Amino acid sequence: MQRRNFLRTALLSGLSLNAVGSRAFAQMPRIEPATANPAFQADVEIALSAQRGDWALLPGAQTSLWHYTGSVMKGDAGVLSFADGSGHLPILRLRRGQRVRVYFENNLPEATIVHWHGLNIPQRMDGHPMYAIENGQRYVYEFEVDNRAGTYWFHPHPHERTSFQVYQGMAGLLLVTDEEEERASLPTGEQDVPLVIQDRSFDEHNQLRYIGNMRHNWMMGFSGERVLVNGSADYSRQVSRTAHRLRLFNGSNATLYHLRWSHGQAFTVLGTDGGLLEQARQQETLTLGVGERVDVWVDFSGLAAAAQVQLLAESYTPSLENFTASQEGAALQDGARPIARFLMSNVPATAVAPPGQLSVYPSLSRSEAVNGNAPRQVQISMRMGSFYLNNRVFGGMQDVADDSRVKLGTTEVWEFANDARMGMGMGMGGMMQMAHPMHVHNVQFAVQSRTSSGQQSALHRHLSAGFTDYGLKDVVVVLPGERVQVLMKFENHAGLYLYHCHILEHEDLGMMQNYLVEA
């Protein structure tokens, strides 16, 4: 509380988010929305729109949301569905190699654009805020799905409004399959269960309550009073007593979750952000930063009919305050709150072991990196209410610093350096200590190392035990005092892309930079 009071008086009182960096957007020449290319032969065509609607999230009055909806214009109707029939959390199921055309229409009262998080696609299809369209306009996306089988997602990415629009309900999953996944014979249909984890706050009329315009509030990030799973504040699902694939996704604005099972079983991890692992891995707990996904295998065959298993979560703010006890919902269990219940059916149990081989990774070796001995530095810092990557805030829409230029076809090591130490409170010069989930557009990377300055605290060890620093990823959490090195290859597409902190309020306040892939 002392730290917060200090910041409240130190920062510019009353400064709204819309006042930050808005000149850069206002001065941008208007870019005409992308239209359909007659030469692009699509296998799948989807009509997708952003609009407002009312949905039953809590008992009583319905909640007004902004959300995605749509229909399949060409291809299998099963390409588009909604999580647990929610009607407002869309799921697109695509196949590697498919050529996809999406007719996106904005029916919201402000500009928006769609970012296809985790996909390797051309610049104009990636959803950079420079391409945001106004109410009534249409943007046509055309791309070939070139990602490995896995769990990806999509969300709005307009300048300074990403956090608000995602909070209002605008997010969806994009699930990719391929021949490798089919050979692994993973659970499908009712046994393939996406779980979108989000926290929200509501007023007495069941309407969403956000954090207001004070810059201090935006800096702290949004942490909600209730955890929703697939849009439900009391998520439960009856399951057959056999193997299931659960796709866990942290779709919150700023909250970090530390997960475990109520019956003490370890997680069997099948995949991370960038798709399936080569072999499954066991892990007692999972720590998910904003935007991270983990696919897990769980076999319910050892449980009795009518038994119940719960997914338990501890919730942490970006400054790593554990606020689980102050949230609403089911009673705490050993410091964690149940966020999803699985009820065993009385159908006879069928035990199934996870496959021995899931996939084969693409070749990615540090020996191929052009800077293997001198990683490209991305210094993360927050000083007196300002947000920096390499001492810069996001400026002009097409500005690119000299240290943010890479060559197409090359492999590089980047080092995310969050040098403010954990447990130090307010550091020198008013520097805040926060965890930052770092995301790079257009690539999947491999975590090479995670080092920490000084002695690790008990909280540091607790959260670190749940990280999935293996497989391919597009988001990595960097705790205070840590440096994380990642290896990635810039392939297929030259152009302008983004890297940023995926705490959405931090992104909107400027903790984001362009990088240019030069041919």
pLDDT digit string (tens) for 265-321? 999 999 999 999 999 999 999 999 999 999 999 999 999 999 999 999 999 999 999
Is a pLDDT exceeding 60 seen at residue 63?
Answer: yes
H helices within 419-466, ranges in order?
A: 458-464
Using pLDDT thresholds of 50, 70 and 90, give the confidence band for residue 212. low
In a domain, 410, yes or no: yes
Same domain, yes or no: 147 and 213? no
In a domain, 354, yes or no: no
Same domain, yes or no: 267 and 416? no
Choice between 395 and 135, residue whose per-residue pLDDT is larger: 135
In a domain, 373, yes or no: yes
Same domain, yes or no: 176 and 44? yes
- The span from the CA of 381 to the CA of 7, in Å, is 16
Same domain, yes or no: 369 and 250? no
- Which of 379, 363, 354 lies closest to 488, judged by CA? 363
* CA 18 to the chain's CA centroid: 23
Residues 29, 170, 189: CA angle, nearest 5 degrees: 130
Same domain, yes or no: 323 and 212? yes
- Which of 477, 382, 467, 474 lies closest to 437, judged by CA? 477
Choose one of 317, 344, 371: the last residue of a domain.
344
Is a pLDDT exceeding 60 seen at residue 219?
Answer: yes
In a domain, 353, yes or no: no
Under a CB-based contact definition with an 8 Å cutoff, are residues 404 and 515 in contact?
Answer: yes
Under a CB-based contact definition with an 8 Å cutoff, are residues 132 and 159 in contact?
Answer: yes
pLDDT, average across residues 150-166: 97
In a domain, 374, yes or no: yes
Is a pLDDT exceeding 90 seen at residue 363?
Answer: no
In a domain, 349, yes or no: no
Choice between 236 and 6, residue whose per-residue pLDDT is larger: 236
* Residue numbers of the domain that contains 274: 189-344
Same domain, yes or no: 204 and 288? yes
Q: Which helix (H) or strand (E) holds 5?
A: helix 2-10
- The span from the CA of 374 to the CA of 314, in Å, is 37
Choose one of 290, 314, 344: the last residue of a domain.
344
- The span from the CA of 444 to the CA of 130, in Å, is 23
Instruction: Give the pLDDT score at 456.
Output: 86
Instruction: Give the pLDDT score at 23.
Output: 36
Q: Which residues pair with residue 338 across a beta bridge? A: 312
Same domain, yes or no: 29 and 151? yes
Which DSSP state fits 107? -
Under a CB-based contact definition with an 8 Å cutoff, are residues 40 and 178 in contact?
Answer: no
- Beta-carbon count within 10 A of 381 CB: 20
Q: How many domains does the chain have?
A: 3
> What average pLDDT is seen over the chain?
91
Using pLDDT thresholds of 50, 70 and 90, give the confidence band for residue 85. confident
Is a pLDDT exceeding 50 seen at residue 4?
Answer: no
Using pLDDT thresholds of 50, 70 and 90, give the confidence band for residue 7. very low
Instruction: Give the pLDDT score at 507.
Output: 95
- Beta-carbon count within 10 A of 196 CB: 25
Same domain, yes or no: 146 and 227? no
Question: By percentage, how much of the chain surpasses pLDDT 90?
Answer: 85
- Residues 6+ away with beta carbon under 8 Å from 398: 28, 130, 496, 514
Same domain, yes or no: 337 and 366? no
As a dihedral over the C-alpha atoms of residue 181, residue 186, residue 191, residue 193, rounded to 10 degrees, the angle is -50
Same domain, yes or no: 175 and 238? no
Residue 501 has phi, psi (to 5 degrees) of: -70, 135
Choose one of 159, 180, 201: the last residue of a domain.
180
Is a pLDDT exceeding 80 seen at residue 193?
Answer: yes
Residues 215, 220, 225: CA angle, nearest 5 degrees: 115
- The span from the CA of 381 to the CA of 391, in Å, is 7
- Residues 6+ away with beta carbon under 8 Å from 56: 62, 63
Domain containing residue 123: CATH number? 2.60.40.420
Same domain, yes or no: 327 and 369? no
Same domain, yes or no: 232 and 166? no
Look at the chain and count its residues.
519
- Residues 6+ away with beta carbon under 8 Å from 151: 173, 175, 194, 247, 249, 271, 273, 293, 295
Its pTM surpasses 0.85: yes
In a domain, 67, yes or no: yes
Is a pLDDT exceeding 60 seen at residue 508?
Answer: yes
In a domain, 484, yes or no: yes
Instruction: Give the pLDDT score at 383.
Output: 79
Is a pLDDT exceeding 50 seen at residue 56?
Answer: yes
